[in-house]
Structure 1
Amino acid sequence: MAVEAAHRQEPPPSIRQIERRAAAAWPASITEECGGWLLRHSPGVGRQRCNSALPPVPYVGGVERVERFYGERDMPTRIQVSPAEYHGELDASLASRGYRRTGETSVLTAATEDVAAAASVRAAASVQVGLTGTPGPWLGVFAELDGHDDSAAVGEEVLSRIASPAAFLSVVLDGRPRGMGLFVAERGWAGVFCMATAPGERRRGVATAVLGAGARWARDQGAARLYLQVERDNEAAVRLYTRAGFTHSHTYHYRIRP
């Protein structure tokens, strides 16, 4: 299936919708549109998503301009090859130029109602999920559970720039953060980001409760569909999302040249 798709010129409209919504939901500090490319850079942030170039579909060249954009900022050139199934030519070209491949990711989608229903059955009744429309105190939860050194920069350079309606979700037990998630809604879709559970609370329904609360919020925003991105080797997360009703949409990975 993936081999066949690699030879197609155009992805389905749903994939295009997800790609652009995901880019807007996790906004970079600096963005530039050039020849169909979306060039993104966020100073102080180490995350690949907001420090990479998203290519046009179909691929029509322009890598040299991308390399200049990141070179001018003393950054390695990083390209998000997405959707990978429709970028065989680009991927092969980058490989021949010395770009290494990393960050294998699956994009999953689900009907919002299905996730809300599945979560209502599986979530522990004792898990209460807090929800706010602005980052505020949630940033403390994010800093504790995120597990990266750039959490403060992400809060300032990315989370504070989210323009669409957003739900910042958290589970706090005995005064300590135990779970979190972020849902961002835009034009019938809602993206799921920043899902994390404290190690000692895993398999106790915390993540399922967060998914359920987020799905109900998304439904109230008129978002009939959900999407999320999960690293392909994160088997526990993939199982969680599959049980909640998510199915495969497409994949992406990054190509990086220092």
Structure 2
Amino acid sequence: MSDLYDAKQSTRGDPALIRLLEECAFNAWPARQTVFFDGWLLRLGAGYTKRANSANAWCTTGSMADVIGAAETFYERHALPPVFRLSPLAGEEADAALAAAGYRQIDPTLVMTAPLAHDTRSDPTVTLQPEADAAWCAGFARANAIAPAMRATHDEMLAAIAMPKVFAALWQDGAPIAYGLAVAERGWVGLFDILVVPEARGRGVGRRIAAALLDWGRRQGARQAYLQVVAANTPAFKLYQRLGFHHAYDYHYRVRAT
């Protein structure tokens, strides 16, 4: 586990900010279906990404044993493993209950925020489009090695984003070498799916496409930005630090031990 992640931080932070950013992130990465159970959101997205296929705490009030049982039944009914995503909204008791029930912790993730600079600039090598067309989806899927069986689900989820959004590609020698997605809401812009093809990494490409997305967000009226980065991804964490992002709070997942 990365030393960037502080397990205790996953139960701390400004509750109002956490709830706001959790709402924005749910809207930016919509599940196909969401079921509410006793203060938890059971998100379902045909198995594509844990974010869209996990139980998320929202306003916990009842028995965690009941929540675990309901989530297990729900996901098993849909032929998916039960996954719990634990932000600070879940609290320490929920995390402890899952650990006691045999769920192990995986993929600790940092949520980072930054104020937007007033002098952001567009990049002529970055194309921005309001919808993910077939070419963008196909290129991103190849670069991210999305399984063919998940392509339709991925494309449907992008099309389902209801908030202002933009899909970016950075081009070099007539071909895209980086991709990214930004979604704007309530004075914030969220960055998602920042991806640089392997042969172009280490050349500042990620910084350029992220900067272009931040510039778009500023033009949409955003004053602050947020993103989520897996704690083990040290190069990405350092990139975002250079762009002015700071650690706000953490979350992690729990899955059944095998």
**Residues 69/217 of structure 1: CA separation in 2 closer, same or farther (3 Å cut):** same
1:28 corresponds, among 14, 19, 31, to: 31
Name the amino acid aligned to 2:114.
A
1:191 match? 190
- Deviation of 1:200 after TM superposition, in Å, equals 1.6
Task: State the secondary structure of the residue aligned to 1:113.
Answer: coil
Match of 1:223 in 2: 222
Aligned to 1:51: 53
1:167-189 deviation line (CA, Å, top 9, x unaligned): 10001222322011100111111
Given that 1:28 and 1:157 are in contact with CA atoms closer than 8 Å, whether structure 2 keeps it comes out as no
The residue number in structure 2 matching 1:81 is 86
Aligned CA distance change for structure 1 residues 53 and 200 (closer, same or farther; 3 Å) = same
- Shift in alpha-carbon separation, 1:209–1:5, aligned structure 2, 3 A: closer
Partners of 1:135 and 1:83 lie apart in 2 by 32
Question: What runs of 5+ residues in structure 1 fail to find an aligned partner?
Answer: none
Residues 106-117 of structure 1: pairs in structure 2 closer than 5 A: 106-113=110-117, 117=120
- Give the superposition deviation at 1:2: 6.5
For residue 108 of structure 2, what is the amino acid of its counterpart? E
- Looking at structure 2, the residues matched to 23 and 66 of structure 1 have their Cα atoms a distance apart, in angstroms, of 18
The equivalent residue for 1:132 is 129
The counterpart of 1:37, out of the listed 40, 43, 50, is: 40
SS in 1 for 2:78: coil
Counterparts in 2 of 1:176 and 1:49: CA distance versus 1, 3 Å = same
Deviations 1:222-242 (A, max 9, x none): 111111110101010001000
Secondary structure at the counterpart of residue 107 of structure 1? strand
State how many pairs are aligned. Answer: 247
The answer on whether the counterparts of 2:39 and 2:60 sit within 8 Å (CA) in structure 1 is no
Give the secondary structure class of the aligned counterpart of 1:250: strand
Q: Cα offset for 1:24? A: 1.2
In structure 1, the residue matched to 2:168 is 169
Matched, 1:180 2:179: yes
Q: Given that residues 22 and 191 in structure 1 are in contact (C-alpha distance below 8 angstroms), is that contact kept between their aligned partners in structure 2?
A: yes
Gap regions ≥5 residues in structure 2: 1-5
TM-score normalised over the length of structure 2: 0.87
Give the aligned partner of residue 214 of structure 1.
213
Cα–Cα, structure 1 residues 55 and 214, in superposed 2: closer, same or farther, change >3 Å? same
- Could you tell me whether the CA contact under 8 Å between 1:167 and 1:182 is conserved in 2? yes
1:142 aligns with 2:140: yes
Q: Which whole-Å CA distance do the structure 1 matches of 2:27 and 2:10 have between them?
A: 26
Please, what TM-score do these two structures have when normalized by structure 1? 0.87
Given the alignment of the two structures, is residue 100 of structure 1 paired with residue 104 of structure 2, yes or no? yes
What residue identity is the alignment partner of 1:54? N
- CA offset digits 1:75-118 (Å, max 9, x no partner): 2110101137x62111110010011211111110111227x64x
SS at match of 2:95: helix
2:246 partner letter: T
> Contact 1:145–1:177 (CA<8 Å) still a contact in 2?
no
> Distance between the aligned counterparts of 1:140 and 1:49, measured in 2?
21
- Seq. identity, %: 37
Shift of 1:74: 2.2
- The letter of the residue matching 1:67 is E
